[in-house]
């Protein structure tokens, strides 16, 4: 049975209600977010499930998942730390912040911590150019911005999120 | 002067419905639905001279008047994809003054006969989308959205839709494709959205800041609005100031304010005793302005920024001090455009790839003597050949960076042929 319909029947219904009856395809992006929520990546079965609800082919869903950067087809950390290193942030030290953060976490650019919990990556402008350094965290809760950070405060936030994640898994 | 758009800076908690209502909220929407003809609303906005704040500066009322009345239903789509590097104004509006923006969406919808409107937010604005959902629910409860509004036969619903990380979706036809559940790739135009838009129906796409201007224009009139700004660029604009300034942030100022006033009076000047070298007034898509006295004294409006060889765009003013090399700046912008090119048209897809490739060679000191000319040449060949503005934008900093700061590129060093 379709996992999304089984696990999130209300969310699916609420999402479809936003669009005209004959335009179910519009729900593909919100449904991909829903499919990604638990494991923070999208696998083939998810695409089949989304395709079934939207009335399009699995290939079409894959083309969409591959186009947008916030959908992940490769498994990574359940906590994705995404640091803006674009031009406006870089003028205020974002490249150095990112390099130090990676170093302290012991990961390469775009890498995942040895315990598999945290993936750290560079992203393009987040529309927070006045509050540098800035990063967003993408996890099961959605996306959260953390602005005016230091490497120390960032590490603290990441540690808290990591603990929350491991508690959830234990439970 | 009190704020017209960033009203939360004068009125605390205006992002709560009761506070917004206590300060005249939704009286403009009530006024148009209960007492104004659709055409009269369009005419008032036309008369105000309001121009699109997303970057293109197209007259808003004129755009509304293009809606095709032989094809139904109609849609309004608010462009909240705010992704131009250096731009962060729409985010502040949606977080702090969301009801004025949503009232603007509602008035625009009434003016073009739309009963459904979508707010398309970039995927990163997850929190803002959920906040807007709450605001929309409150408006429904209070009778500002739904059926038979103010006891008339007019009905309206507003929905949010989240993107998922793609700069191109700020281009209005790519945005519509994305909203239809497709890859965000621009459409061939014409037809333009007011004829064939969302689901093939007439659609008006307006930027968040543009729509936020509409309630005060209706409330206080086009003539009042025209007392701000210049003759051809009336009104106020939110300037997003970033880069090497003491006080980066959003500043709501009349159009026609000079770069000098923005950067030095409001932005507190350049830190660390540095001088200002260059200005990118339209984010990463800018032609780079050499920060001469003449440039600093140029009024920022849609016409006069062109006199110093650039455009106002979305007024995302990135300031670059004299410790930076333009070669590095150009390399940064190329990383951005290479990543964001949607891949649909060849000049942009291949061009951004090759420009970044050559720029990386120069940046890493592996370039040959001809590489700067080659980079310039590739950029020139992309110009005027792309399906949408993204490809064009990708060349602006390259061409003007090399033309105006050539020594920054030549001094980057060259490799021996064996290494290249």
What is the CATH number for B259?
3.10.20.600
Q: How many residues does chain B have?
A: 420
CA B221 centroid distance within chain: 24
Q: CATH says A3-67 is which class?
A: mainly alpha
* CA B145 from centre of chain: 27
Residue identified by tokens 């965000």 is B184
- pLDDT per residue of chain B (420 residues) written in tens, 0 to 9: 799 999 999 999 999 999 999 999 999 999 999 999 999 999 999 999 999 999 889 999 999 999 999 999 999 999 999 999 999 999 999 999 999 999 999 999 999 999 999 999 999 999 999 999 999 999 999 999 999 999 999 999 999 999 999 999 999 999 999 999 999 999 999 999 999 999 999 999 999 999 999 999 999 999 999 999 999 999 999 999 999 999 999 999 999 999 999 999 999 999 999 999 999 999 999 999 999 999 999 999 999 999 999 999 999 999 999 999 999 999 999 999 999 999 999 999 999 999 999 999 999 999 898 999 999 999 999 999 999 999 999 999 999 999 999 999 987 755 444 333
Count how many Cα atoms sit within 13 Å of the Cα of residue B269 in the half-sphere of its side chain.
Answer: 5
B220 plus B272 within the same structural domain: no
The answer to whether residue B109 is domain-embedded is: yes
Residue B90 is part of a domain; what is its CATH number? 3.40.50.11540
B34: left (phi over 0), alpha (psi -120 to 50) or beta: alpha
What letter does residue B262 receive in the DSSP assignment?
I
Picking from B9, B143, B129, B148, the residue whose alpha carbon sits closest to that of residue B78 is: B129
Which has the closest alpha carbon to B18: B138, B132, B151? B138
Q: Let me know whether B116 and B50 are in one domain.
A: yes
How many CB atoms neighbour CB B35 within 10 A? 10
B336 & B274 share domain: no
Q: Return the residue matching tokens 């912008």.
A: B333
Rounded to whole angstroms, the Cα distance separating A71 from A138 reads 10
- Dmax of chain B from CA atoms? 79
Report the alpha-carbon angle B225-B231-B233, nearest 5: 70
- The number of folded domains in chain B is 3
- Report the distance separating Cα B232 and Cα B301, nearest Å: 8
Residues of A in contact with B324 (CB under 8 A): 91
d(CA B339, CA B119): 25
Domain with B26, as residue range(s), is 7-225
Q: Which of B92, B102, B132 is nearest to B251 (CA)?
A: B92
Whose structure tokens read 């016409």? B303
Task: Return the closest-CA partner of residue B90 out of B247, B191, B234, B238.
Answer: B238
Q: Are residues B315 and B348 in the same domain?
A: no
Average pLDDT score over residue span A108-120: 95
Residue B110 in any domain: the answer is yes
Spatial CA neighbour of B258 closest among B213, B208, B292, B212: B292
**B62 assigned to some structural domain:** yes
Q: Is the peptide bond before B4 cis (omega within 30 degrees of 0)?
A: no
Cα four-point dihedral sign A20, A25, A29, A33: positive
* B65 burial via Cβ count (<10 Å: 0-12, 13-18, 19+): middle
Task: Using pLDDT thresholds of 50, 70 and 90, give the confidence band for residue A168.
Answer: confident
For A139, nearest residue in chain B (alpha carbons) = B126
Nearest to A70 among B130, B165, B244 (CB): B165
Compute CA A160 distance to the chain's CA centroid, rounded to the nearest angstrom.
18
For chain B, counts of helices (H) and of strands (E):
17, 9
Q: Within a 10 A sphere around the Cβ of A29, how many other Cβ atoms?
A: 27
**Residues B126, B275: one domain?**
no
State which residue of chain B sits closest to A30, comparing Cα positions.
Answer: B162
Contact B83 A130 (CB under 8 A): no
Quick check: B172 and B193 in contact, CB under 8 A? yes
Location of structure tokens 């420009």: B355
Interface contact flag, A67 B166, Cβ < 8 Å: yes
Residue B336's SS3 state is: helix
pLDDT of residue B149: 98
| H or E element in which residue B184 lies | none
- B30 within some domain: yes
Residues B317 and B333 in one domain: no
Alpha carbon distance B407, B403 (integer Å)? 10
Q: Which of B126, B163, B243 sits opposite A88 (nearest CB)?
A: B243
| B127 neighbourhood in chain A, CB within 8 Å | 142-145
Residues B254, B347 within the same domain? no
DSSP state of B266: I
Q: Which domain-ending residue is among B298, B321, B344? A: B321
Question: CATH 3.40.30.10: which residues of chain A?
Answer: 79-170
Contact indicator for B270, B276 with CB cutoff of 8 Å: yes
How far CA A70 is from CA of A102, A160, B219, B243, in Å, comes to 20, 23, 40, 26
Partners of B336 on chain A (C-beta within 8 Å) are 86-87, 124-125
- Residue-wise pLDDT for A22-72, tens only, equals 999 999 999 999 999 999 999 999 999 999 999 999 999 999 999 999 999
Residues on chain A touching B91 (C-beta within 8 angstroms): 127-128
Handedness of CA A20, A21, A23, A28 (dihedral sign): positive
- For helices A44-54 and A28-36, angle between their N-to-C axes, nearest 10 degrees: 150
Please name the CATH architecture into which domain A79-170 falls. Answer: 3-Layer(aba) Sandwich (3.40)
Terminal C-alpha separation, chain A? 26
**Confidence band, pLDDT 50/70/90 cuts, at residue A167:** confident
Q: Peptide bond preceding B271: is omega within 30 degrees of 0, i.e. cis?
A: no
Instruction: Spell out a b/e string for B348-386, using b for 16 or more CB atoms within 10 Å of the CB, else e.
Output: beebbbbbbebbebbbeebbbeebbebbbebbeebbeeb
Q: Residue B229 forms beta bridges with which residues?
A: B234
Last residue of a domain, one of B292, B321, B350: B321
Q: Are A79 and A137 spatial neighbours (Cβ–Cβ below 8 Å)?
A: yes
| Cα torsion angle, A33, B127, B58, B49, sign | positive
Q: What phi, psi does B39 have (nearest 5°)?
A: -60, -35
User: What is the 3 state secondary structure string of B215-267?
Assistant: HHHHHHCHHHHCCCECCCCECEEEEEEEECCCCCEEEEEECCCEHHHHHHHHC
- The DSSP secondary-structure symbol of A78 reads S
Say if residues B107 and B32 touch (Cβ distance below 8 Å): yes
Last residue in a domain, options B321, B340, B361: B321
Selected residue of B73, B74, B85, B330 to mutate for chain A interface (largest A Cβ count, 10 A): B85
- B58 and B188 share a domain? yes
How far is B153 from chain A, CA to nearest CA, in Å?
A: 21
| B359 shares its domain with B385 | yes
φ/ψ of residue B131, rounded to 5: -65, -45
Please indicate, yes or no, whether residues B180 and B269 belong to a single structural domain of this protein: no
Within 8 A of B122 by CB-CB distance, chain A residues are: 127
Indicate which CATH number applies to the domain containing B342. 1.20.1440.230
pLDDT at A171: 67
Average pLDDT, chain A: 95
Which residues belong to CATH 1.10.10.1590 in chain A?
A: 3-67
């Amino acid at each position: 049975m379709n996992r999304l319909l089984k696990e999130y029947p209300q969310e699916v219904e609420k999402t479809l209600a936003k669009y005209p009856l004959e335009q179910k395809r519009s729900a593909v992006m919100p449904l991909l977010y829903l499919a990604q929520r638990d494991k923070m990546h999208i696998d083939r079965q998810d695409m089949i499930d989304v395709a079934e609800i939207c009335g399009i082919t699995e290939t079409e869903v894959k083309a969409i998942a591959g186009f947008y950067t916030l959908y992940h087809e490769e498994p990574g950390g359940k906590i994705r730390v995404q640091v803006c290193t674009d031009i406006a942030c870089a003028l205020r030290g974002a490249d150095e912040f990112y390099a130090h953060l990676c170093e302290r976490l012991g990961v390469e650019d775009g890498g995942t911590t040895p315990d598999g919990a945290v993936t750290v990556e560079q992203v393009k402008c987040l529309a927070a150019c006045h509050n540098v350094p800035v990063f967003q965290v993408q996890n099961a809760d959605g996306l959260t911005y953390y602005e005016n950070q230091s490497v120390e405060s960032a590490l603290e936030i990441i540690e808290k999120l990591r603990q929350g994640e491991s508690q959830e898994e234990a439970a | 002067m009190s704020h017209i758009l960033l009203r939360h800076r004068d009125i605390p908690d205006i992002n709560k419905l009761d506070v917004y209502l206590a300060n005249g909220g939704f009286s403009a929407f009530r006024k148009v639905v209960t007492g104004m003809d659709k055409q009269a609303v369009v005419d008032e906005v036309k008369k105000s001279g309001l121009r699109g704040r997303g970057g293109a500066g197209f007259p808003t009322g004129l755009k509304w008047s293009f809606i095709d009345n032989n094809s139904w239903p109609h849609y309004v789509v608010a462009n909240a994809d705010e992704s131009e590097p250096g731009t962060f104004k729409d985010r502040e509006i949606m977080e702090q003054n969301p009801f004025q923006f949503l009232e603007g969406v509602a008035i625009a919808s009434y003016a073009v006969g739309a009963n459904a409107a979508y707010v398309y937010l970039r995927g990163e604005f997850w929190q803002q989308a959920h906040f807007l959902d709450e605001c929309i629910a409150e408006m429904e409860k209070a009778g500002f959205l739904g059926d038979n509004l103010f006891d008339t036969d007019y009905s309206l619903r507003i929905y949010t839709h989240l993107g998922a990380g793609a700069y191109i979706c700020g281009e209005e036809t790519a945005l519509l494709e994305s909203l239809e559940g497709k890859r965000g790739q621009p459409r061939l135009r014409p037809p333009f959205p007011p004829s064939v838009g969302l689901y093939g129906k007439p659609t008006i796409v307006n930027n968040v800041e543009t729509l936020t201007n509409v309630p005060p224009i209706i409330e206080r009139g086009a003539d009042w609005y025209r007392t701000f700004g210049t003759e051809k660029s009336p009104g106020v604009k939110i300037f997003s100031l970033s880069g090497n300034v003491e006080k980066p942030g959003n500043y709501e100022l009349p159009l026609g304010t000079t770069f000098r006033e923005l950067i030095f009076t409001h932005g507190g000047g350049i830190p660390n005793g540095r001088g200002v070298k260059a200005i990118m007034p339209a984010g990463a898509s800018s032609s780079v302005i050499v920060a001469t006295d003449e440039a600093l004294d140029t009024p920022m409006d849609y016409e006069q920024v062109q006199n110093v060889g650039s455009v106002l765009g979305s007024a995302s003013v990135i300031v670059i001090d004299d410790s930076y090399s333009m070669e590095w700046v150009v390399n940064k912008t190329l990383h951005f455009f290479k990543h964001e090119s949607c891949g649909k048209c060849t000049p942009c897809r291949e061009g951004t790839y090759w420009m970044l490739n050559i720029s990386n060679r120069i940046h890493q000191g592996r370039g040959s003597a001809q590489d700067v000319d080659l980079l310039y040449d590739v950029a020139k060949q992309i110009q005027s050949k792309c399906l949408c503005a993204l490809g064009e934008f990708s060349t602006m900093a390259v061409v003007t960076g090399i033309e105006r700061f050539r020594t920054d590129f030549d001094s980057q060093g060259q490799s021996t042929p064996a290494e290249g």
